[in-house]
């Protein structure tokens, strides 16, 4: 497969924060292939996300399974891929650039930071509503809004 041309997705080994298991998902997107050369902010986009089938719950898993067209029982890797494709994940790092090799090296360095400082990455707000990584990994991207209204 030509990842530089078509992009790709890699799922790391199972990790644990002591309360639940999670996986890091590294994704490479070729912007020129996706949106066209004239509209791309750079040639490539690399992102790193956290996915936890355990935290996502059965309802999100069922919706991801249906959305992704999975008809069989899913192993952990397939669950992680389906949830990531469905959007039930926490974005922890991303960067655009024109050299995918440099971006991939930087992403691999980031994985060590995420694993070592997992709680800090998950505590930070991920969107303008104030939803945290803990909210995103559960598929609750509007949780920050709910908290703001409750105050």
Which helix (H) or strand (E) segment holds residue 58: the answer is helix 53-67
Distance CA 62, CA 53 (A): 11
Domain ranges of the chain: 3-150
Give yes or no for residue 1 having a pLDDT over 70. no
Residue 50: helix, strand or coil by DSSP? strand
Return the minimum-mean-pLDDT range out of 81-85, 124-128, 142-146. 142-146
What is the value of pTM for the model shown? 0.91
pLDDT of amino acid 20:
97
Which residues, at least 6 apart from 145, have a Cβ–Cβ distance to it below 8 Å?
A: 129, 130, 131
Answer yes or no: is pLDDT of 149 > 80.
Answer: no
The tens digit of pLDDT for each residue in 90-122 reads 999 999 999 999 999 999 999 999 999 999 999
pLDDT of 89 higher than 90: yes
User: Considering all CA atoms of the chain, what is the largest pairwise distance in Å, rounded to the nearest integer?
Assistant: 51
Q: What is the mean pLDDT of the chain?
A: 93
């Amino acid at each position: 497969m030509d990842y530089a041309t078509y992009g790709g997705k890699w799922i790391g080994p199972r990790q644990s924060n002591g309360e639940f298991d999670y996986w890091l998902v590294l994704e490479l997107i070729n912007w020129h292939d996706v949106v066209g050369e004239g509209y791309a902010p750079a040639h490539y986009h690399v992102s790193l996300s956290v996915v936890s089938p355990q935290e996502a719950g059965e309802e999100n898993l069922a919706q991801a399974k249906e959305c992704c067209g999975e008809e069989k029982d899913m192993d952990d890797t397939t669950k992680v891929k389906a949830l990531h494709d469905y959007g039930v994940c926490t974005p922890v790092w991303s960067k655009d650039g024109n050299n995918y090799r440099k971006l991939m090296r930087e992403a691999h360095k980031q994985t060590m930071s995420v694993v070592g400082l997992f709680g800090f990455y998950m505590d930070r707000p991920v969107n303008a509503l104030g939803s945290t990584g803990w909210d995103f990994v559960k598929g609750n991207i509007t949780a920050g809004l709910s908290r703001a209204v409750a105050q």
